[in-house]
Amino acid sequence: MDDKNMSLEDKREARRTRRARNQFLSYLVVILLLLGIAFGVVYALGLFPLKSSGEQPESTTGDLQSQVEAIINSEETIDKPVESTEPVVILTWEEKMEQLIASTIDNMPLEDKVAGLFIVTPEAISKTDAVTEPNDAIKDGLNQYAVGGLYFRAQNMKSEEQLTTLVNGSAAYSRYALFLATTEEGGKQGELVKSGVYAQREYSESTIGSEGDTAAAYQAGFNIASKMTSYGFNLNFAPSCDLASVENSAAAYNSYGSDAKTVSGFMKEMLRGMTEWSLNSCAVHFPGIGGTTQSTADGIAVSNRTAEEFRQNEFQVFQAAIEAQVPMIMVGHMAAPALTGDNIPCSLSAEVVTNILRNELGYQGVIISDALNKKAISEYYGSNEAAVMALKAGCDMLLMPENFEQAYNAVLEAVENGTISEQRIDDALTRIYFIKYADKIDRME
């Protein structure tokens, strides 16, 4: 039936039917569109994996488990770090020091090694008179000669402020750690007292010993060290271990007495007083110069003590100093034929320095010669000869040769031609730097 033959009512019914069909189709398109969007979102999030050709989709949970298991299995196949079965090595303080010192010495040229064995006056390297300030001459001298230390005398000291500037300023010019030294035992003979800088003079060893109070020795050491460290010094050539064993002894003024046990007590107390201020000390003058009336400053001095008398008396005092861990011992220039067999100064004798002090008494610290400009040396030996002899005898350090350059060049040549081995120089420097570096590494004991 076409539209021409349809009634009005039929035409209305046909329009309603078309409208309903069109609405249904519209709803169906919207629903399909929404489903398509939802499906796309699910796919994008990986929650609904698409089926690939010829494969069935797997369970999402199963897939995740498989991935986790695969990761775990793969991690188990990674090589794990092998735990070391070696024990953890904890270095002792001494071992740490050895490493630190070796690194210093290994990087030194031979010229610096040799220079490091000398303690000299500022004038010896600056080639000027009466140095009182850290000037360019000191700077140039330390640059040319890397000496191991400087010894300051009364002529270098004008006031506390000036001395502090001189000592610390000189140290600042050095490439290596320096011993900054003087002699102050108490009484009237010390460099600080002679200069007038140290107005509070301590009692001499002879006065303290005669009064019998070891606390006075401790207080003298404590007071002296307090002043010296405030100026910048780190080494004092004290305490005295000498026994005034003969009448008019050359050591009478600087000796606590003649009895070994008594003198040992005073000596240890002065040493303790200085140590409390971290001032390095040097026990003087092995094997003991109190058995002669002659002074090595004026010429040859000979002791008639027997070897047995030395061992029962003087050696006991030095043994006490060694047990108290004195870092340095000075060997004097007195001749002791009973020990050496001749009149060679003890400082140049391998029998005294090495066989007795190093080996028999077991001393492992630094051994230094007495001042080599004293007449007991300078009137009989050249600076070059004396320096080489002292090192060959076993001294680690050489104090104030009469002519420093001659002594230095002689030692350098002796090492270069094999008269003295470089290992001997290194051994001496190792002992020296054990003192100089003692505060570089904390002791944990």
Name residue 43's amino acid. Y
Its pTM surpasses 0.85: no
Per-residue pLDDT tens for 113-130?
999 999 999 999 999 999
Looking at residue 48, its pLDDT comes to: 42
d(CA 390, CA 399): 10
pLDDT band at 263 (very low <50, low <70, confident <90, very high): very high
Per-residue pLDDT tens for 8-27?
455 455 555 555 555 555 55
Looking at residue 4, its pLDDT comes to: 44
pLDDT band at 94 (very low <50, low <70, confident <90, very high): confident
Q: Which of 219, 298, 291, 294 is nearest to 255 (CA)?
A: 291
Mean pLDDT of 202-214: 95
Per-residue pLDDT tens for 346-382?
999 999 999 999 999 999 999 999 999 999 999 999 9
Question: Does residue 57 surpass a pLDDT of 50?
Answer: no
| Three-state secondary structure readout of the chain | CCCCCCCHHHHHHHHHHHHHHHHHHHHHHHHHHHHHHHHHHHHHCCCCCCCCCCCCCCCHHHHHHHHHHHHHHHHHCCCCCCCCCCCCCCCCHHHHHHHHHHHHHHCCCHHHHHHCCEEECHHHHHCCCCCCCCCHHHHHHHHHCCCCEEECCHHHCCCHHHHHHHHHHHHHCCCCCCEEEECCCCCCCCHHHHHCCCCCCCCCHHHHHHHCCHHHHHHHHHHHHHHHHHHCCCEECCCECCCCCCCCCCCCCCCCCCCHHHHHHHHHHHHHHHHCCCCEEEEEEECCCCCCCCCCCCCCCECCCCHHHHHHCHHHHHHHHHHCCCCEEEECCCECHHHHCCCCEHHHCHHHHHHHHHHHCCCCCEEEECCCCCHHHHCCCCHHHHHHHHHHHCCCEEECCCCHHHHHHHHHHHHHCCCCCHHHHHHHHHHHHHHHCCCCCCCCC
Mean pLDDT of 176-205: 94
CATH superfamily of 93-436: Glycoside hydrolase, family 3, N-terminal domain (3.20.20.300)
pLDDT band at 445 (very low <50, low <70, confident <90, very high): very low
Looking at residue 59, its pLDDT comes to: 43
Looking at residue 201, its pLDDT comes to: 81
Per-residue pLDDT tens for 123-172?
999 999 999 999 999 999 999 999 999 999 999 999 999 999 999 999 99
Mean pLDDT of 202-215: 96
pLDDT band at 220 (very low <50, low <70, confident <90, very high): very high
Least confident range of 76-85, 260-269, 326-335, 421-430: 76-85
Question: Does residue 289 surpass a pLDDT of 90?
Answer: yes
